[in-house]
Structure 1
Amino acid sequence: MYTTSRYKKGIDWPIVIMVMIIMAFGVANIYSVDPDYGVKQVVRIGLGFGMIAVFAIITSISRNFFDLYAFVFYIVGVAALVGVLFFGREINGAKAWYSIGGVGIQPVELMKIATGLMIAHVLNIPGNDLNRPPVLLTCLGLIAIPAVLILLQPDVGSLFVFGAFLMAMYREGMNPIIIVIPIVLAVVFLLSVLWDAPLFILGFGMIVWLVITLVLFLFGQRNFSIQNMYSTMGLYIGLGIFFFAIMVLAKPSGFSFTINEVFSLKDEIFISITSAAMALISFLTAGGIYLSNLENYSSFRNFSKLKASNSRELLSSASVVVILMSIVLAVSYNANSLLEKLPKHQRERIMVLFEGEAKYRDTSGYNLLYSKTAIGSGRFWGTGWDKGTVTDGRFVPEQWTDYIFCTVGEEWGFVGSTLLVILYAALIMRLFYIAEQQRKVFARYFTYTAASILFLHFLINIGMVIGVFPTVGIPLPFLSYGGSSLWGFMFMIFIVLKLNYEKEQSFI
């Protein structure tokens, strides 16, 4: 049994206070948009605290309750995601909600917590290390199962948030390349939509070469040779110009024939050959620079004298370069065709980033157009609570949910918006701080997961409201109107506080 004084000592009051302030501020802004929803939000907050009180009693049966029952939470969450595909209610094109007593329940909110608990359970097993392939694949599989089910709904916004688990895994020792790859591919996709693929790939290849060269120059071995750097640069530029010329000529450009017609190659085959050639360029570039910096290497004639370990390292590095560049090339060349296969509203949301919301003001750009109008009208000090003209005019659909930040911008201005951002930053940093204080892997990983989830929700939501991220339907934690999302965040913070309370020594 825990004593009352011991329990009070373990509560992290800064987190409790910051969460309460954000929720109170959220109620005020929701009430300004629609008083009925403001009252409902107060009721839902009360229900959330009631459920947490019951949950606190249940979890007191065991000191390691969340570790012991993580698998149960995970199975229930997966079952709920499967069930919603058959029995769920479709809202805004996504079949992601159960309707229970007039309240929409989104099972993905439970799944975020359950996945975090399950991965924490796996990593908490003695001897498990993310540098071991079986452990890494197990954790990635635990993420992939709900991710696929969420994609089937489809709920792209929640899928983005699942990146939080990878961020927390990086803290536990996972190779950062697993995080970098999807980010790079997303950037490649967007830039390839904006620019022609051949031009983008040539530029991307040059950037790869510059990064490799810069890293070796600043942090490489003492044998780094400027002469070898120039040699590999010449190799890259020469081959790059050659294959780029082929790609340009292969496009209909006023000539009576094209290169691929001469060789009777279909576009798909020609693109494959060109992609392979560009991958080879990157391979030769990376391999050449790498060889020039091996301590036991002075010229290509001495290649046979390389140590076996260096040879294996070279082969491994070259293989990674070829594989990654092949993936990048495939995504880049197929970006536009992939874009065309997306539903119209999702395709337009991406194009709004490049072409502006005004062009799509009657469709996918409408929300963003009036959201930015509302934020701009707030200026420095804001129009005052419940005095926003855009808010009162109901120009932004469902402004009380995902677009609540534009209400903050209009009625509280730059000052209020900045203070809110600082408050969120303080909350997230506090969670990171708590995570570092944990002695158990389970508590540390889950706390990092909670902080990462809040960070991604915060970043994506504000990003889409101000127009630097596509609209994906992500609520602002504790501020947006909601049921399951609000309760999910409340339960997540409760678990963090409970795990912190169970530490042998508290820092409060």
Structure 2
Amino acid sequence: MVKRNKILLRNIDWRIVVIYMIMIFFGCMNLYSVSPEKAEKQLIWILLSFFFIFIIFLFKPIHYKHITPFFFLFTLFLLIGVFFFGKNVNGSKSWYVFGSISFQPSELAKISTSLMIAHIMSQENIENNNKALLHISIILVLPSFLILLQPDPGSSIVFSSFLLTLYREGLSISFILYFLFYILLFVVSINLSPWIVILLLFISFIFFFFLKKNISFLDLFFYIFLFISFSVFSFLSPFVFQKFFKQHHKDRINILFQNEFDRKYRDNVGYNLLYSKTAIGSGKFFGKGYQKGTVTKGKFVPEQHTDYIFCTVGEEWGFIGSIILIIFYLLFISRIYFLSERQKNIFGRIFGYSVGNILFIHLIINLGMVMGLFPTIGIVLPFFSYGGSSLWSFTVLLFIFIRIDASDQTSLI
């Protein structure tokens, strides 16, 4: 037993563990600049996360495969239960609150869905397999739809990261391009007249026909179907936007196409973005120095300890510090992809890619939010933002994969 544990420890990828440790403690340092009280709590949660890591390593990878379906169903029950027993926080009923302890089941859903996707796809190949693709679609739609209803569109969007995992396993790039195009079409349609959008679509389709040769009748039928579906979607988008989106969600999207300096947004929904950009810009090349950020010290950014923690880095550590942090993240995620690709076990490979893609989507959207390239939708910066639920979920995701990788080097179980 002792020998086996020594082998397991030797097979752990310590490079990724070291990067993890650097990021969580550097994140805690930046939190201390924003709020010493919250940094102290975060440090407690960091220490508790080591307990979760210990528990993770008590299980073998085969155990994770066996409990995955039950874990996934348990998560769905939690997501449904939050509508009845959850607490409304910032307009979203997405938290369970027990005294001073709060818990967001959507964080648990990222773990269970990653495991479930790996469980199904390790048994069924999705390439040219409509049945397997249907199973995967149901697994993805159920938690993301329940989270969207809370409403928590930010956490729901994170589930789009699994499309990258599916692409690695054989899903046609067309599915991802269609998905991205529908998002683009939705955003454009709520800011322009649907008739203008349809005219642009029609011109694009005509232009495409002139470029493409030897179009069959089946191709023609397919393109006409696409044009009709895009047109209908364009007409429905403004209605859906006005009817089902809350006002603060509408404002956060509209502000991207207007200006946070506009009086309509400057003192409310645009306030965070305005001072986030101010903080990042004021840091210039080398930054103002640790705990010397005037915007940070003045607490001008209300959500600076969570969604907007990166603006603290920009102000105190400047362009150089921000770039170094981003490079660390990219090295970290690249290492996860590398370890995923070398897995002998399909389950480990798919789960590893899911972990890497979730972190990648969080990174891209969070950086886009603080710089005004993406709406503010409550996406945290992994291992950096304040919060026990997010820290623990990312830690559990990462170390389940590290546990799987360590065993994969010696055994498939």
**TM bracket, shorter-chain basis:** over 0.9
Distance of 1:213 and 1:134 partners within structure 2: 36
For residue 156 of structure 2, what is the amino acid of its counterpart?
L
Give the corresponding residue for 1:432: 337
Give the corresponding residue for 2:231: 329
Structure 1 residues 412, 209: closer, same or farther in 2, change over 3 A? farther
Q: Deviations over 1:208-251 (max 9, x none)?
A: 4555666x5xxxxxxxxxxxxxxxxxxxxxxxxxxxxxxxxxxx
Contact 2:369 2:376 (8 Å CA) reproduced: yes
| Structure 2 segments unaligned to the other structure (5+ residues) | none
For residue 207 of structure 1, what is the amino acid of its counterpart?
S
Give the corresponding residue for 2:214: 290
Distance of 1:327 and 1:64 partners within structure 2: 44
Q: Deviations over 1:411-441 (max 9, x none)?
A: 1111111111111111111111111111222
Distance of 2:392 and 2:210 partners within structure 1: 49
TM-score normalised by structure 1 residue count: 0.77
Q: Could you say what secondary structure the match of 1:96 adopts?
A: strand
Q: Deviations over 1:271-322 (max 9, x none)?
A: xxxxxxxxxxxxxxxxxx333xxxxxxxxxxxxxxxxxxx6xx42x334323
Contact 1:31 1:38 (8 Å CA) reproduced: yes
Give the corresponding residue for 1:175: 172
1:36 has 2:37 as partner: yes
Distance of 1:209 and 1:432 partners within structure 2: 41
Contact 1:428 1:454 (8 Å CA) reproduced: yes
Q: Which has the higher contact order (CA 8 A, sep 6+)?
A: 2
How far residue 138 of structure 1 moved from its aligned partner, in angstroms, is 0.4
Give the corresponding residue for 2:274: 369
Distance of 1:483 and 1:45 partners within structure 2: 8
Contact 1:103 1:483 (8 Å CA) reproduced: no
Q: Deviations over 1:96-154 (max 9, x none)?
A: 111134122111111111011111111112x5434211110001001111112111101
| Structure 1 segments unaligned to the other structure (5+ residues) | 217-288, 292-310
Give the corresponding residue for 2:17: 16
Q: Which moved more, 1:342-351 or 1:172-181?
A: 172-181
Contact 1:457 1:477 (8 Å CA) reproduced: yes
Distance of 1:375 and 1:491 partners within structure 2: 31
Q: Of 42, 62, 68, which residue of structure 2 is paired with 1:70? A: 68
Q: How does 1:125-274 map onto structure 2 within 5 Å?
A: 125=123, 128-210=125-207
Q: Could you say what secondary structure the match of 2:57 adopts?
A: helix
How far residue 348 of structure 1 moved from its aligned partner, in angstroms, is 0.6
How far residue 491 of structure 1 moved from its aligned partner, in angstroms, is 0.2
Distance of 2:310 and 2:231 partners within structure 1: 38
How far residue 11 of structure 1 moved from its aligned partner, in angstroms, is 0.8
For residue 400 of structure 1, what is the amino acid of its counterpart?
H
Structure 1 residues 154, 121: closer, same or farther in 2, change over 3 A? same
Distance of 2:209 and 2:294 partners within structure 1: 53
Q: Could you say what secondary structure the match of 2:381 adopts?
A: coil
Give the corresponding residue for 2:320: 415
Q: How does 1:45-124 map onto structure 2 within 5 Å?
A: 45-57=46-58, 59-60=59-60, 63-124=61-122
Q: How does 1:399-414 map onto structure 2 within 5 Å?
A: 399-414=304-319
Q: Could you say what secondary structure the match of 1:346 adopts?
A: helix
CA RMSD of aligned residues (A): 1.8
Q: Could you say what secondary structure the match of 1:104 adopts?
A: strand
How far residue 180 of structure 1 moved from its aligned partner, in angstroms, is 1.9
Q: Which moved more, 1:439-448 or 1:476-485?
A: 439-448
For residue 381 of structure 2, what is the amino acid of its counterpart?
L
Distance of 2:409 and 2:268 partners within structure 1: 55
For residue 473 of structure 1, what is the amino acid of its counterpart?
G
Q: Could you say what secondary structure the match of 1:502 adopts?
A: helix
Distance of 1:347 and 1:431 partners within structure 2: 36
Q: What's the % identity of the aligned pairs?
A: 43
TM-score normalised by structure 2 residue count: 0.94
Contact 1:401 1:481 (8 Å CA) reproduced: yes
1:345 has 2:248 as partner: yes
Distance of 2:337 and 2:202 partners within structure 1: 36
Give the corresponding residue for 1:301: none
Give the corresponding residue for 2:257: 354
Structure of larger gyration radius? 1
Contact 1:131 1:175 (8 Å CA) reproduced: no
Structure 1 residues 26, 504: closer, same or farther in 2, change over 3 A? closer
Contact 2:201 2:227 (8 Å CA) reproduced: no
